[in-house]
Structure 1
Amino acid sequence: MIDTAGPKAPAAARLLPRPDRPALVRGTIIVVLLLLALFALPPLMNGYYTVTMTQVAIYSIVTLGLGLLVGRVGLYSLGQIAVLIIGAWTGARLLFGTGQPFIVVMIEAGLVTMIIGSLITLPALRLRGLYLALITLMLAGAVTVIEATLNFPNGGGGFSGYNGSLVHIPQIRRPSFAGTDPAYYRFSVIVAIVMFLLVYAHLRARPGRAWASIRQSEAASLAAGISTTFYKLWAMALASFVTGVAGALLAGGDRYLYSIDFPIQNSITLLAVVLMGGVFSLAGAVIAAFLQSFLPAMLYQLW
């Protein structure tokens, strides 16, 4: 008998999985958008929108950390502004007081906020929902009072580095390769990409599966042998780290930091925009950052 079906693929080839076309399309779109943001967008923006888009890139890291807690673990935190303040204060103090490279200062600010955020929130990890939100809001209020008393470093001496005379206040140092606003915008976008990749790697690995299980049912997770306290602390540490990096990045972006830049109501606003942007996808963090920074700036410009 003659086989008229034509040549057949080898058995090993038939067992290979087909490429995930939707994922490939999504990846291509993301790469194109990032290239546009890095190279095509800066020449089209004036100084005002360059600074605004820098804020969007920075706050996308903040909303990324908060979205991780809310959407992936089910922890409603209102203390991310407090973590951002600590990261900005630490970054500004190190940039004024040391000659370390800017990237090293960002990592150090992230580590400081990771340790402080984890230690402070550890006793509250048994709480959930409204109770955890209230505890973290009290933390944000306490940090706001402390930073209003100490003020942000502005080139002065001592522990706080605050110059009370407010005469000849130096600008917060930027990296040598990102001294201009367009260059610092590109640098902020690259840092944001790295932070998103860091969180994405966690979500695709064992911590991400544990967080998903905890969010669905903490009791079932305990029954399955998952250490809920350990993984919730891990999520809080990761969110605090990326927020601390954003704080140091914000210090270099603003060049001057004041206590009035971080009102306590921003904690509630930040949670609101994260919920509106979408907490179950990484793209929701970018949407939330646009709602947080770009939309008010655009409305102010139009007004």
Structure 2
Amino acid sequence: MNVFQGTRGVRAPDAPRPTAGERLGLRPPLSAAAWPTGVTAAAVLLLPPLTSAYWIQVLTAAAVFSVAALGLSVLYGRVGLISLGQIAMLAVGGWTAERLGQNGALPFPLVLLVTGLVTGLLGIVIGLPALRLSGLYLALITLMLAAAVTIVLTNANFPNGGKGFLGYDPVKSGTVPLARPDLAASDTAYFRYTVVVCALMFLLAIAHTRGRPGRAWAAIRQSEHAAMAAGINVTLYKLWAFALACFMTGVAGALLAASAGGLTVYQFPPQESITLLAALLMAGMYNFAGAVIAGLMLKAMPALLDTWGVSGNVLLILFGVGLVQTLVTSPEGIAGQLGRDLGRLATRMRRSAS
């Protein structure tokens, strides 16, 4: 007999921990949808007047990479699938958007949608090995995929208005950024546009995790055999997770293609996927707020070090030390620790008020 049966007020050791929103007394669906809305409103309204043009570009890149981290959070944090190919999907999304947007026939929102669908279908193809692989083996397969994408891009380059399927003209120097929509022509307006689209990606991920796919993913993460015994189609939901993660990352790549300066083949090295995983582990793998923190760590921290005149290689040391500290003392990462601290603060405030 389970010693916890019939015991009120005691939580079983394997029961899920309450979220920060639940500890603050909010209903789960409300708290889940409220924080992306609040962060988006704050970023759109408060940041542009307070920052320079340089930091607007940095924060735009941070928002894009937070969506790439979000895809990894869905795969590993929710399903237990380790993927080291999210940066490669970011590059594929950028290439696809550049190719679709060269003739200007498609409006920008449609370019984002089609790019996401293309990378989502590619995610299903990538997810096929995941049906029989897991853990380190799946991580190695996806890392080799990221290296293969880098090699192909080095030889093919990003489209710059040339003819043919690749759309690259070696006579032209550099790449041409994807044309922005009229309402987001300036860097500040495009930052706002990017933040809103990224917030929609977070809401899409939250809707999945709060619904039937999220429950199926949780069961698969705990035990695939138990999930199959419960009637869950493990194949379907694994491929669904890969398709969703790659769809969101592809949309982020399209947003990056329209950022200032365009895209270069040197922006997507394979080792960047490992850095993304490390940053997300420190920020909070099991909390979507950790994806936002990871995006800031990947893009804002190097910009700060550069502003202070410190070598960017120091960031690797900081990430290494921070990762060890996270794994030893706070496995839930910064977002999880912050949630617990907010919960304790709310409890003390309620006790003081009563």
Change (3 A) 1:43 1:75: same
- In the alignment, the residues of structure 1 paired with residue 253 and residue 116 of structure 2 have an alpha-carbon distance, to the nearest angstrom, of 8
Identity %: 51
Q: Tell me if structure 2 keeps the 8 A contact 1:154–1:172.
A: no
Q: 1:145 is matched by which residue type in structure 2? A: I
TM-score of the pair, normalised by structure 1: 0.89
Q: Select the residue among 259, 265, 272 that pairs with 1:259.
A: 265
The C-alpha deviation readout for 1:10-51, integer Å capped at 9, x for no partner, is xxxxxxxxx975327957665444322111110111011000
- In the alignment, the residues of structure 2 paired with residue 63 and residue 155 of structure 1 have an alpha-carbon distance, to the nearest angstrom, of 30
- In the alignment, the residues of structure 2 paired with residue 203 and residue 268 of structure 1 have an alpha-carbon distance, to the nearest angstrom, of 25
- Residue 199 of structure 1 pairs with residue 205 of structure 2: yes
Q: 2:186 is matched by which residue type in structure 1? A: T
Match of 1:23 in 2: 26
Match of 1:112 in 2: 118
Question: Which stretches of structure 1, 4 residues or more, deviate above 6 A after TM superposition?
Answer: none
- Residue 49 of structure 1 pairs with residue 55 of structure 2: yes
The C-alpha deviation readout for 1:164-208, integer Å capped at 9, x for no partner, is 123486442111110111000000100011001111000110000
- Residue 190 of structure 1 pairs with residue 196 of structure 2: yes
Name the SS of the counterpart of 2:262 in structure 1. coil
Instruction: Identify which range, 22-31 or 233-242, moves more after superposition.
Output: 22-31
Mapping for residues 123-272 of structure 1, pairs under 5 Å: 123-167=129-173, 170-272=176-278
How far did 1:60 drift?
1.0
Change (3 A) 1:271 1:240: same
How far did 1:270 drift?
1.1
Greater C-alpha Rg? 1
Change (3 A) 1:104 1:28: closer
- In the alignment, the residues of structure 1 paired with residue 36 and residue 265 of structure 2 have an alpha-carbon distance, to the nearest angstrom, of 36
Match of 1:94 in 2: 100
Change (3 A) 1:120 1:89: same
Mapping for residues 71-86 of structure 1, pairs under 5 Å: 71-86=77-92
Name the SS of the counterpart of 1:263 in structure 2. coil
Q: 2:253 is matched by which residue type in structure 1? A: G
Q: Tell me if structure 2 keeps the 8 A contact 1:63–1:288.
A: yes
Change (3 A) 1:263 1:228: same
Q: Tell me if structure 2 keeps the 8 A contact 1:90–1:248.
A: yes
- Residue 291 of structure 1 pairs with residue 297 of structure 2: yes
Change (3 A) 1:228 1:168: closer
The C-alpha deviation readout for 1:204-260, integer Å capped at 9, x for no partner, is 100000000111111111111111111111000000100000010110114421111
Change (3 A) 1:275 1:153: same
- In the alignment, the residues of structure 2 paired with residue 268 and residue 201 of structure 1 have an alpha-carbon distance, to the nearest angstrom, of 27
Name the SS of the counterpart of 2:82 in structure 1. coil
How far did 1:123 drift?
2.7
TM-score of the pair, normalised by structure 2: 0.77
- In the alignment, the residues of structure 2 paired with residue 224 and residue 72 of structure 1 have an alpha-carbon distance, to the nearest angstrom, of 18
Instruction: Identify which range, 137-146 or 170-179, moves more after superposition.
Output: 170-179
Unaligned runs of 5+ in 1: 1-18
- In the alignment, the residues of structure 2 paired with residue 284 and residue 181 of structure 1 have an alpha-carbon distance, to the nearest angstrom, of 26
